[in-house]
Structure 1
Amino acid sequence: MTRHKLGFWILTALVVGNMVGSGIFMLPRSLSEAASPAGVVLAWAATGLGVLTLALVFGSLAIRKPELSGGPQIYAKELFREGSHGSLLAGFMSTWGYWVGNIAGFVAVITTFASYLSTFFPVLTSDKVWLELGSFTLKAGNTLTFLVCSVLLWGTNAICLRGMNSAGRLNFIATATKVIGFALFIVIALFAFQQSNIGPLLAPRTNESGETIGLLSQVNSAAIATLWAFIGVESAMVFAARARRKQDIRRATIAGLVISLVLYVGISILTMGLLTQEQLIASQNPLVDGISTVLGPIGGKLLAGLGLISLLGSTIGWVLLSAEVPFQAAKLGVFLPSFAKENGKGMPKVSLWISNLLGQILLLSTISGSISAAFDFIIQIATLAYLVPYLIASLYHLKLTLTGETYSLNKERVTEGIIAALAAIYSLWVIVAGTADLKTFVLGLALIVSGILFYPLLLKHRRMNK
């Protein structure tokens, strides 16, 4: 099978589909809770500029180092001497952390799908108790949500095993549908916007201890949530080995970022004008609740239907991306060799099955709590797993500009060096802001470090094949 089949539009759809997934549906609530309107706007501005520098880094690296494909984490091995133990360990550990972070990403998308499905099937939010064992309570809604999420996960697994072209086309159709639908949402919300719902631009926020949070701290908190909205901007880069033209990777990354940014900023801010702060923070389905205030229950159901189509496409994109990461890393020799196995359609069969099995385990979080709580928890533990590879890619690009490797024009070298430095600074800033909470830092670090348990298997394989 010829792998180089993904053109500009399919790659762009993967970027937009993966970025505009769970975040666009749950972010209005998360942002309202984290920051005042001024803090939200500043967080979007900082994140938009920061992610733009990352997108430029990803696009440049895909062209300058086409042999290194599979995601931003793969450059970790290039920061050390080629063939050294440090190079192998860095490549393996960064791939592990990024891979597990991606799994958390598609679990967040799937749990949001269940949230919007509850608009049509309210039983998914039922508090009826089915079983009690000590402090553990099994509710009907949580159990049914878990079952729905599991069916979606394994249905997607079956679609992906049928081939990249089939899955890519389905993702493209779903992405095009959601872009059109969300553009209509923005137009309607503009006419129904109520400034009184937003409240003071610099309204105070309090933390769990009841202490008042200043504007800068609000921006830091909101920046974590807004960054989650842009996770997936590297999707075209991950599929670089399957791209028809390397130039399309950079173009698709920038185009996908611009489309997603317009949708995110418009929807997150306008939704604040459709619901009061109290309603927004308490909402499990903020977009549906917001549009229902304008168009009534029918409008809410139409948007929920759009959300389901959107999330189906995002689930396909995220599952594909999660499997592609260890697959490409294994082919480069820095991950467990079994992950490089393919089926007759050229799909990474072992990587797909194992990724989805781990996703199934994470879905257990929906059994014991609300969907919004599960979404927030998953975002927290995945934060560091994503940010470290972003920092790695930025540092590697900076290294290329400093050494001059792959550069023939000094002006281009200086310009890209500045962009790489800004991308690295942005990544560091969000890492510091996102891991200030000890629980988030420990859980995120645990995701990355847990891979060390499997590293001896890679060493054993390499010794056997010398």
Structure 2
Amino acid sequence: MEPEKKGIGLPALVALVVSSSIGAGIFALTSNLSSGAAAGPALIAWVIVGFGILMLALSLSNLGNKRPDLEGIFTYAEDGFGHFAGFVSGWGYWLSAWLGNVAFATVLMSSLGYFFPAFKGGQNVPSIIVASIVSWILTWVVNRGVESAAAINAIVTICKIIPLFAFIVVGIVLFKGHIFTTDFWTNVASHAGRTDSIWTQVKSTILVLMWVFVGVEGATMMSSRARKKSDASKATIIGLISLLIIYVLGSMLPYGYMSQEKLATIQQPAMVYIFKDMLGTWGGAFISVGLIISILGSWLSWTMLPAETMLLMKKSKLLPPIFGRENKHNAPTFSLIMTGVLIQLFLLSLLFAKNAYTFALSLCTAAIVICYIFVGMYQVKYSWQHRSEKGSMGQMWIGVFATAFQVFGILMAGWQYLLLCLIVYVPGIFFYAKANKDNGAGHYLSKMEWVASIVITIAAIVGIVLLSKGLIAV
């Protein structure tokens, strides 16, 4: 029997899975889903994404148990495939983390727009100004070394769950089967004289469904602090099943309350205005308040994350020392400020974006998929190397499915956003090369690293060309 010790128990680990993943995405999910798919294809998409994310979560859980010595998700890529792979994975994770904050900003301002019309839509000048102020305040707070205490995390988690629970209960009560089954396989596009195939509808939803699971890796990274090692694996599965129930019910129940045309065109965040339609003005206000608090809590956590990622990359000698330079509060000031500046620039660009939230979440998901692919591949490699151990071949196939799903998702739904992400890799390669030289490697890049860098640069140029020609929607 596995001995118990002081540490994080199973309920707390399950809560960590749920809290790490639930951000702003679920509150806007219904509109994003219904704009591309009818109820039937949406359910098929949930089955595909649910299976793929389960494979990823199982891979993370296994690696967390087998290799607790590896610190930071990018170290799986580094240990399994070399120094440059570690940089590619880590830079993608950092990129995803701060791009997620841009998505938070958009939904936060849209939520404030429920009370203050000047912020409606979240993409006008007042919204950008207030979002910028919030971003820099949170950067300042983290730079002071203030971390989210257990009490704050508990409050934020409750603020996330209570409005979602209320929405699901009311949605079940008001659910009408005949509305849900109307045009069950035919999406709203058919009403504009065009009928998309079931597969086209499924494909259009993959990226947005993957987005709401960003952060599922948080709990498995805490396995070394679990009261029992086996709890980490259990918590991942229980937490993921909990998330799937919340997400599927929260996004699909409205199909049985409103027509798809109305859902697809409802204001964002969709849950706010659907609940307002269900219960009146106070219903929208209830969801909005919970959402605002939820986003601020998530935004604080995800302000820490990109800076912490850069700090860990510096410790692994993937970035120059300046990225890990800490102030008297042990906060990486340079990394925080650099990330804050990039968030600010991206916030300004939202004035010209057609659908800022969707654009930001698409880039965020495309960036983190790079990390997740390396996790899956390392799971395959590690399991194969230890294939004589019991259960290793089963773990290898889990890694195969996890990798295949992430590759499938990005190729089917977001390859163009991956090209845009690679643009930000170009300056990152410069920093990586400098770190190599500073750390006595004797060269900036090895021959294979030069080849990989050239491929990344060419792909980035292709992304810029496609963007300039309007072939990538912003």
Q: Deviations over 1:406-425 (max 9, x none)?
A: x7732x21221121111111
1:37 matched to 2:20? no
The structural deviation recorded for 1:247 is 5.6
The structural deviation recorded for 1:244 is 7.9
Q: What corresponds to 1:254 in structure 2?
A: 237
1:278 matched to 2:261? yes
Q: Which runs of 5+ in 2 are unaligned?
A: 1-5, 444-474
Q: What corresponds to 1:380 in structure 2?
A: 362
Distance change >3 Å, CA 243–CA 327, structure 1 → 2:
farther
Q: What corresponds to 2:449 in structure 1?
A: none
Identity of aligned residues (%): 32
1:48-87 to 2 correspondences below 5 Å: 48-71=50-73, 73-80=74-81, 87=82
The structural deviation recorded for 1:430 is 0.7
1:220 matched to 2:203? yes
1:46-445 to 2 correspondences below 5 Å: 46-71=48-73, 73-80=74-81, 87-125=82-120, 142-163=124-145, 165-198=147-180, 199-204=182-187, 206=189, 212-237=195-220, 249-283=232-266, 284-369=268-353, 373-404=355-386, 409-410=389-390, 412-435=391-414, 439-445=416-422
Q: What corresponds to 1:26 in structure 2?
A: 28
> Is this contact kept in 2: 1:58–1:234, CA < 8 A?
yes
Q: Deviations over 1:44-71 (max 9, x none)?
A: 1111111011011111111211221212
- Could you tell which deviates more after superposition, 28-37 or 441-450? 441-450
CA distance in 2: counterparts of 1:399 and 1:349, whole angstroms: 37
CA distance in 1: counterparts of 2:341 and 2:93, whole angstroms: 17
Q: Deviations over 1:11-36 (max 9, x none)?
A: 55553233211210111111101111
Distance change >3 Å, CA 345–CA 238, structure 1 → 2:
farther
CA distance in 2: counterparts of 1:272 and 1:154, whole angstroms: 39
CA distance in 2: counterparts of 1:294 and 1:206, whole angstroms: 25
Instruction: Report the count of equivalent residues.
Output: 435
> Is this contact kept in 2: 1:62–1:246, CA < 8 A?
no
Q: What corresponds to 1:462 in structure 2?
A: 439
Supply the AA of the counterpart residue of 1:77: E
> Is this contact kept in 2: 1:95–1:325, CA < 8 A?
yes
- Could you tell which deviates more after superposition, 445-454 or 240-249? 240-249
Distance change >3 Å, CA 264–CA 147, structure 1 → 2:
same
The structural deviation recorded for 1:7 is 6.9
TM-score (normalizing by structure 2): 0.83
TM-score (normalizing by structure 1): 0.84
CA distance in 2: counterparts of 1:461 and 1:272, whole angstroms: 57
> Is this contact kept in 2: 1:394–1:420, CA < 8 A?
yes
CA distance in 2: counterparts of 1:381 and 1:261, whole angstroms: 23
The structural deviation recorded for 1:233 is 0.7
Distance change >3 Å, CA 119–CA 98, structure 1 → 2:
same
CA distance in 2: counterparts of 1:259 and 1:160, whole angstroms: 30
The structural deviation recorded for 1:351 is 2.9
Supply the AA of the counterpart residue of 1:108: A
- Could you tell which deviates more after superposition, 270-279 or 62-71? 270-279
Distance change >3 Å, CA 245–CA 374, structure 1 → 2:
farther
CA distance in 2: counterparts of 1:352 and 1:459, whole angstroms: 22
- Could you tell which deviates more after superposition, 104-113 or 196-205? 196-205
Q: What corresponds to 1:83 in structure 2?
A: none
Q: Deviations over 1:292-326 (max 9, x none)?
A: 12210111111111111111122122222222222
Distance change >3 Å, CA 172–CA 156, structure 1 → 2:
farther
The structural deviation recorded for 1:165 is 5.0
CA distance in 2: counterparts of 1:38 and 1:116, whole angstroms: 29
> Is this contact kept in 2: 1:36–1:218, CA < 8 A?
yes
The structural deviation recorded for 1:455 is 2.3
Alpha-carbon RMSD across the aligned residues, in angstroms, is 2.9
> Is this contact kept in 2: 1:274–1:293, CA < 8 A?
no
